Amino acid sequence: LEPTVMPDKLRHFNPTAVDFLRRCDTEAQAEEIIAFLEKKGEITKEYAHELRCRLKQSGIRSFGPKKEENHYFREAGIF
């Protein structure tokens, strides 16, 4: 039997700030994520400001639908 080869489409995937925000349930969680990424230098102060403004004006779902648990496993075809 030939082994089943699964494409590894997420091998080099690096989540963005928006990917993390799409995992949040509340605006408070999103604020924490933004502050954390800004503090760690993952995003600039200017981008953090843009994200906060969008969050306050349009809400958490303005970044896209919620990414549920195991989202990336399903994307990769593992689940």
Please write the tens of the pLDDT for every residue from 16-40. 999 999 999 999 999 999 999 999 9
Q: Work out the average pLDDT over 48-76.
A: 86
Q: Is the pLDDT of residue 9 over 80?
A: no
Residue 42: predicted pLDDT: 96
The whole-angstrom separation of Cα 28 and Cα 34 is 10
Q: Is the pLDDT of residue 51 over 90?
A: yes
The whole-angstrom separation of Cα 47 and Cα 3 is 45
The whole-angstrom separation of Cα 11 and Cα 18 is 19
Record the tokens describing residue 38, joined without a space: 């800004």
- Model confidence at 74, in pLDDT bands (50, 70, 90)? low
